[in-house]
Amino acid sequence: MAGFDSGKRRVFVFLSGLAVVVLFINLSLLSGTDVQSKIKSIPIPGKPKAAAPDPNLPKIPSWHHDNEDFENYAKISDQHPIAGLMKVADDAWESYEEDRSTTFKETVAKYRRKYGRHPPPGFRDWYKFARDRNVHNVDDFEQIMDDLRPFWAIEPEVIRSHAAHLSENEGNGISGLHIRDHKIWKMTFANWRMETFAKMVETFVEFLPDMDIAMNRLDQPRIVVPWDEMQGYLAAEAKSRHILVESPADWTKNMSNMLKDNDTAPVVTDPKFFSAHAQQYMLIAKEACPPESPARDGVSSVAAAESLYKDPQGGFITNFNRSSDLCTVGPAIENKHGALFVPSTIVATKSLLPIFGECKVNVNSDILFPANMYYKEDDRYDYDPESPSDYSWDDKKDLAVWRGVTSGGTNTAENYKDMHRQRLVMMANGTIMAEKEVRIMTESTGTRGVYENFPQFHPSEFANQHTDIGFTGVTACVPDCNFYDGVWDIKPLTPLSEQFKNKYVIDVDGMSFSGRWRAFLQSKSLGIKSTIFREWHDSRLFAWRHFVPMDNRYDDLYSILTYFIGLGDPSDAGKKGLAYIQRHDFEARRLGRQGREWASKVLRSEDIEIYTYRLLIEYARIIDDNRDRIGYSGDGSELDKYDAKKPMSFSNSGHV
Ligand SMILES: *[C@@H]1O[C@H](CO)[C@@H](O)[C@H](O)[C@H]1NC(C)=O
Ligand SMILES: *[C@@H]1O[C@H](CO)[C@@H](O)[C@H](O)[C@H]1NC(C)=O
Ligand SMILES: *[C@@H]1O[C@H](CO)[C@@H](O)[C@H](O)[C@H]1NC(C)=O
Ligand SMILES: *[C@@H]1O[C@H](CO)[C@@H](O)[C@H](O)[C@H]1NC(C)=O
């Protein structure tokens, strides 16, 4: 999609069948009420034919059929809650797109307006680096600013001392990266995570000042600062904001408390780590929640908490951010997610320490950076753009797939049924669900396009037909995994590319976040996501535009799948015990397509480098004795040539 004019954004919908036809839909039409009738089909000359579908695939309706359905259906105003959620997401995403700065001056002005400060030293070089790599949104680094905000309340030399020494004691589970003289000087207790991180930092280390970085090398996040203390830090940060007219433009040199060769200087304060393996995480987590939140107020019902992030119709997630906020959903899921009730390695602290981590839950104060797995080039987690099995949409099976092992916490015969992955596999098991009822939505009797809750759906048959969800192995059991004999039908290992033969790919957490998520977005399948973890990319991914969010309890699994895949016959509507819902394959295909296009703009390896580089100059300012430093002098007009609207040339970059 090179040369794509952001001013006239379009959504490309590929319908492939016997011939490849591309439907161009102007995005602005998509938000209107009368979208479908305005679609025009434009054949693309010279476009290669799609690969022949796998002959082993079950016969699925051709796109002609879908399209007829779709044309008929276009005349009906679809009032399904998901239609509304997609519209809200499209609007939010459009504002996000329109709000992007295109020039350096605009970027700096926005920075000052938003954060009440000058950008840090090195900002100019970072800006060039980002533009050279075609950054899509040069402003959206909100996560970095949020993560570093409380550290403004801590003295720079104290942070430096922690950063230098936290990795000294191997038992702390922290690796160190030490940058001196624009080079990686050394690493402490490096494992693959630190080695991958260092490889990424190498791409811009020449622009960084000296610094020590402490990186978590355990799966689980580390820091939970109690709420009142955190409010104090945040207030101190807000008070410290100011913009000086004259500021020195370079980093302070030769600062105290950096790691030295054969350093014997003691850590300024004790990190006060404590371990809480296999204990209820909410006991620790809730201390970081606001007193009036459901996690702490002791009175909020599950229903009251649900009203904050969930639609009572169908149970769809209306606020994905909130759906993983432990202060809100903690009481409802504390015994339903392995990482919350049988966590494997919790070594936490209540002290605000500068620890970089790949993921966290909302109550943690770890400093996020893009997970190493996304940068490492590991076939198990990477999307292969050449893969012949990522079929075009219409050749994919109408199935929701999930594969994985029984990780997510310590499995025992008593607890496994409550662990998150195990619950998913059981919920999609037609045998286990045989006697169970779940809530979905059905189209109401008289009025097409109007839906109501249908709480007594027997999902067994639908599960057998439309899900392929199972374990590829058992692990992490105490005392051993024998209690699993006969419980699961263990499936053969299924590479990601094989999973993309299906339309719907479900992603749930493991021990911590799921490293497959980027590949799921990059694929031509549609990702359905449930998680309690936060990652670097959260603010750039829009639920209901780039993926389908799912409740951590999965009580919306069948209302989601029946919406997209369809259920029953129109004559079933309103009949006792029967549900009918129109198939929404077009919507699924569109979401999948949007997720894929978006991933190719904002989740590239370059985006990971740009994010981490920005993170490290913001961090460098936090640890600098003079935090008032400014990123450049003059008005920055020499950077005009990097304006986003002009075509960018990689050849004029001095440092690719
Ligand atoms: C760095 O600072 C220390 C003490 O603050 C001083 O002894 C040393 O000479 C300085 N080194 C440089 C290169 O300025
Ligand atoms: C640090 O210790 C190592 C090993 O004991 C020694 O070889 C090296 O010379 C020491 N470096 C400094 C700067 O003291
Ligand atoms: C589904 O449940 C049945 C009965 O418990 C079990 O035999 C079967 O192996 C399960 N299937 C999967 C995919 O785990
Ligand atoms: C999630 O919500 C919190 C609290 O309102 C907010 O600070 C944060 O920016 C939100 N994150 C995203 C990705 O929207």
Whose alpha carbon is nearest atom 12 of ligand 4? 539
Residue 360 sits in the same domain as residue 507: no
What is the number of the ligand closest to the CA of 543? 4
Domain assignment present for residue 278? The answer is no
Bridge partners of 415? none
* Interval between CA 255 and ligand 1 midpoint (Å): 8
Identify the DSSP state of 650.
Answer: G
Structure tokens at 404: 């994985």
The answer to whether 354 and 151 are in contact (CB under 8 A) is yes
Identify the DSSP state of 251.
Answer: P
Which among 273, 251, 320, 216 is positioned nearest to 544, based on CA atoms? 320
Domain assignment present for residue 575? The answer is yes
**DSSP-assigned states of every residue in 204-267:** TGGG--SEEEEEE-SSS--B---HHHHHHHHHHHHHT----SS---SPPPS-TT---TT--PPP
Among 321, 363, 534, 537, which residue has the most ligand 4 atoms within 8 Å of its CB, making it the best to mutate? 321
What is the number of the ligand closest to the CA of 186? 2
- The enclosing H or E element of 612 equals helix 605-622
Residue 637 sits in the same domain as residue 565: no
Structure tokens at 225: 């600062």
Bridge partners of 183? 180
Sequence letter at residue 198? A
Residue 405 sits in the same domain as residue 535: yes
Structural domain ending residue among the three candidates 583, 599, 632: 583
Q: Which residue has the tokens 């006969």?
A: 486
pLDDT at 652 over 50: no
Rounded CA separation 53/51 (Å): 6
pLDDT at 577 over 50: yes
Rounded CA separation 559/557 (Å): 6
Domain assignment present for residue 9? The answer is no
Q: What is the pLDDT of residues 491-504, one digit of tens each?
A: 999 999 999 999 99
Whose alpha carbon is nearest atom 7 of ligand 2? 262
Residue 454 sits in the same domain as residue 473: yes
* Interval between CA 263 and ligand 2 midpoint (Å): 10
Which atom of ligand 3 sits closest to the CA of residue 430? 1
Rounded CA separation 62/44 (Å): 20
Domain assignment present for residue 412? The answer is yes
What is the number of the ligand closest to the CA of 264? 2
Residue 549 sits in the same domain as residue 634: no
Residue 36: predicted pLDDT: 34
pLDDT at 309 over 80: yes
Q: What is the pLDDT of residues 427-472, one digit of tens each?
A: 999 999 999 999 999 998 778 889 999 999 999 999 999 999 999 9
Domain assignment present for residue 134? The answer is yes
CA distances from 291 to 298, 307, 327, 482, 597 (A): 9, 18, 9, 43, 41
Residue 388 sits in the same domain as residue 466: yes
Domain assignment present for residue 592? The answer is no
Query: Which domain, by its residues, includes 368?
Result: 105-265+348-373+608-645
Identify the DSSP state of 252.
Answer: P
Residue 129 sits in the same domain as residue 259: yes
Whose alpha carbon is nearest atom 3 of ligand 3? 431
Structure tokens at 42: 């434009």
pLDDT at 37 over 80: no
Residue 446 sits in the same domain as residue 563: yes
Residue 171: predicted pLDDT: 87
Structure tokens at 421: 């992955």
- Grouping H, G, I as helix, E, B as strand and the rest as coil, residue 552 is coil
Q: Using only C-alpha atoms, what is the Rg of the chain?
A: 26
Helix axes 557-565, 585-602, angle to 10 degrees: 110
Q: Where are the beta strands (DSSP E) in 598-643?
A: none
The answer to whether 150 and 225 are in contact (CB under 8 A) is yes
The answer to whether 432 and 426 are in contact (CB under 8 A) is yes
Strands 211-216 and 274-275: unpaired
Rounded CA separation 523/219 (Å): 26
Model confidence band, residue 341 (pLDDT cutoffs 50, 70, 90):
very high
**H, E, C per residue of 449-490:** CCEEEEEEECCHHHHHHHEEEEEEECCCECCCHHHHCCCCCC
Check which CATH number belongs to the domain holding 422 and give it: 3.40.50
Mean pLDDT, residues 115-128 taken together: 93
- Grouping H, G, I as helix, E, B as strand and the rest as coil, residue 428 is coil
Q: What is the pLDDT of residues 201-249, one digit of tens each?
A: 999 999 999 999 999 999 899 999 999 999 999 999 999 998 887 767 7
Q: What is the pLDDT of residues 258-275, one digit of tens each?
A: 999 887 766 667 899 999
Q: What is the pLDDT of residues 54-108, one digit of tens each?
A: 444 444 444 334 455 555 555 678 999 999 999 999 999 999 999 999 999 999 9
Percent share of the chain, pLDDT over 70: 84
Whose alpha carbon is nearest atom 2 of ligand 2? 262
Bridge partners of 388? none
Rounded CA separation 583/571 (Å): 14
Residue 447 sits in the same domain as residue 539: yes
pLDDT at 39 over 90: no
pTM: 0.86
Q: What is the pLDDT of residues 501-528, one digit of tens each?
A: 999 999 999 999 999 999 999 999 999 9
* Interval between CA 261 and ligand 1 midpoint (Å): 14
Residue 512 sits in the same domain as residue 629: no
Neighbours of 55 (CB within 10 A): 5
Domain assignment present for residue 20? The answer is no
What is the number of the ligand closest to the CA of 308? 4
Residues with CB under 6 A from ligand 4: 142, 146, 321, 538-539
Q: How many domains does the chain have?
A: 2
Residue 132 sits in the same domain as residue 212: yes
Rounded CA separation 364/348 (Å): 10
- Grouping H, G, I as helix, E, B as strand and the rest as coil, residue 422 is helix
Which among 333, 338, 363 is positioned nearest to 348, based on CA atoms? 363
**DSSP-assigned states of every residue in 306-374:** HTTTB-TTTT-BS-HHHHT-HHHHHHHHTTT-HHHHS-S--EEBSS---EEES-B-TT---EE---GGG
Domain assignment present for residue 529? The answer is yes
Mean pLDDT, residues 412-427 taken together: 97
Whether the CB of 23 sits within 6 Å of ligand 3: no
Residue 125 sits in the same domain as residue 160: yes
The answer to whether the bond into 290 is cis (omega within 30° of 0) is no
- The enclosing H or E element of 194 equals helix 192-201
